[in-house]
Chain A
Amino acid sequence: MKRILEGRAHVFGNNLDTDQIYPGQYLELVTAEEIGRHAMEGVDPRFVKNFRPGDIIVGGTNFGCGSSREHAAIALRAVGAGGIVAESFARIFYRNAVNLGLPVLVCPGVSRRVSSGDRLVVDLEKGRVRNATTGVEMEAEPLTEVVFEILESGGIKPLVKRQLAALHAQSR
């Protein structure tokens, strides 16, 4: 995991739900590549065109509320989002993102202090967010140990894979 993220901000409002991040009509799609093509389509059909890998998504409160669809997090990861910084996250979305190795940081005040297009520097370890365009510094909530460990492993899959392999080796 990159501990310092740097990228352009794309700012969204409060209660951005998973139907807007990833509309229900595309739920049957399976590959990350296909899924990524519809990222944020319910709120901004031009999002995918404007987004560059490494860009950072900034959200308001309750980011990713709504259904448990992992497609929402898969879509944002597939377009290459560096991470998501929001006032608060809906819990399932938060877990999904972490599990996929997509960094998520809770940062009160961020949606008021960042405009779309600003350059952000996010220090995941220290929990700091700097708006390089305006010079404003913000404190984020530190990541818990469990979350940090999953992100460090590149998501939960590699982590469980290691654990299972150890188990299988033991039982041999």
Chain B
Amino acid sequence: MHAIEKILARASGKDSVRAGEIVNCRVDLAEVNDLYPQTIHSFYEMGGRRVHSPDRITFILDHYAPASSIQQAENQKFMREFCREQGIELLFDVNSGVCHQVMVDHGLVYPGMVLIATDSHTTTHGALGAFGTGVGATDLAVILATGHLWLRVPEILRIHLTGRLSVGVYAKDVILHIIGRLGADYAIYKAVEFTGPVVKELSVSERMALCNMTTEMGAKCAYIQPDQVTLGFLKGKVKRNLEPVETDPDFQYAEELFFDVSAIPPQLAVPSSVDNVRPLSELVGTPVHQAYLGSCTGGRAEDLAVAARILKGRRVHKDTRLVVVPASRDVFLEALQRGDVAALVEAGATFVTPGCAACLGTHEGILAAGEVCIASTNRNFPGRMGHTQSAVYLGSPAAVAAAALNGRITDPCEILAELERKES
């Protein structure tokens, strides 16, 4: 069996499971975000009285953090009251950040767990060896009521990454390249596992970016086998024994794909779909009105650090605004301590409360008609970040910072190579 199958087998009390089978899984952690008061309504409509396991439920107020309309405030208030009434202690309020980062920061994510959230990017947690998948409000309500959820055991697609990343090329470029090659529906219902020497060298932050975006290929979940990097990262964070599950050596993948990352230059997904990917070099010079650094894909401390490296002692171009949204409070604190926040603010960046902000076009940095944005986020559907006539290019945090500096799409490799020359 594959590690993912073993996780689902354990959760459903079976010795073994196979792809295509429907299993009823006990959920180790269910997360609800503030887009989904519907979850609570559905819970009551189902005849729910007390939630099944309050200690396995977390509410995170991130999409509207802090509220910018009365309706949003009402929805958040409703959720806080529900948590209080039901004895749900894991309530992360508007001072916390994006759910995926918050759960990891707080040690709620560990290898071998089943994590279900009302958010499509729950695939992120495969980076830590967890089974993470997104569902809608009503499915989540079923978990509140019963502690369980039915799932179809996915076929598993393995993506093996070899070669070496060039300076200025990141996990984000790799995943954009892969999505561009395979298409937005390549992995529907499937699990995507990343293996190979490149993955071993990636930080947890980069692994999270990789797994996060498998959602944009339709994947149900992602997976990276926990190793020393994972365990080192989790040590001290997670208060339980870490027992990663391993895939049997004779496991047969539904499909295996190979990519040599040495040949991948910086990439951009161009408007208006995530699989519309081109080498950034073809778009150099395109003017941008806004550069957006943030989200559960590209708003971690490492992402802010590379942006600060590019912008330190310089100015954001006068025709461009740089909006920075740390993914969480912990990320924000780390970036503050490293001096990256100061460097970015001095360069002219606008900082926004940790959370989802304009990533989904609801507040704090949304776009007007005709505006162009380069973002370290994960989606560029029409209207995703504001007006349906605005355009979003998706790239790495370095590409976002480079564009902020010049007011146009710029190859971050050249800037970073020059910085390296100066430093040596």
Contact = CB atoms under 8 A, between A and B. Distances in A.
Interface of A: 14-15, 17, 19-20, 23-25, 27-30, 42, 61-62, 65-70, 73-74, 88-92, 95-96, 99-100, 144-146, 155-157, 160-161, 163-165, 168
Interface of B: 22, 35-38, 41-42, 45-48, 63-64, 69, 71-72, 75, 118-120, 134-139, 141-142, 145-146, 150, 152, 184-185, 188-189, 218, 220, 273, 275, 360-362, 379, 381-384, 388
Contacts of A95: 135-136, 139
Nearest to B72: A28
Task: Give the most central of B38, B145, B273, B381: most A CB within 10 Å.
Answer: B381
Contacts of B220: 91
A32 B69 CA distance: 20
Contacts of A160: 46-47, 142, 145-146
Contacts of B382: 19-20, 42
A145 B273 CA distance: 34
Contact of A65 (B118, B135, B146, B218): B218
Contact of A157 (B36, B45, B64, B119): B45
A73 B273 CA distance: 21
Contacts of A69: 35, 136
A88 B383 contact: no
A157 B120 contact: no
A20 B272 CA distance: 11
A30 B35 CA distance: 10
What 10 A-B pairs come out closest when comparing CB atoms? A62-B185, A70-B136, A96-B136, A99-B138, A28-B71, A68-B120, A24-B361, A160-B46, A68-B134, A161-B47
Given A42-B388, A91-B189, A164 B118 contact: no
A61 to B, nearest CB: 5
Contact of A96 (B138, B152, B362): B138
B185 A30 contact: no
Contacts of A27: 35, 63, 360, 362
Given A25-B362, A146-B22, A160-B145, A73 B136 contact: yes
B218 A24 contact: no
Given A17-B381, A156-B142, A62 B184 contact: yes
B45 A70 contact: no
B389 to A, nearest CB: 12
A107 to B, nearest CB: 15
Given A68-B118, A164-B48, A23 B383 contact: yes
A146 B48 CA distance: 21
B38 A70 contact: yes
Nearest to B273: A15
Task: Give the most central of B63, B71, B388: most A CB within 10 Å.
Answer: B388
Contacts of B75: 28, 30
Contact of A90 (B139, B142, B188): B188
8 contacts: A15-B185, A27-B360, A70-B136, A91-B220, A99-B136, A160-B47, A160-B146, A164-B146
Contacts of A25: 361-362
A67 B63 CA distance: 12
Contacts of B41: 30
Given A30-B75, A88-B185, A95-B136, 19 more contacts: A15-B185, A17-B379, A19-B360, A20-B381, A42-B383, A62-B188, A67-B120, A70-B36, A70-B137, A70-B138, A88-B188, A92-B135, A95-B135, A96-B138, A145-B22, A156-B138, A161-B46, A161-B47, A164-B146
Contacts of B273: 15
A42 B22 CA distance: 34
B381 A68 contact: no
A128 to B, nearest CB: 23
A14 B138 CA distance: 26
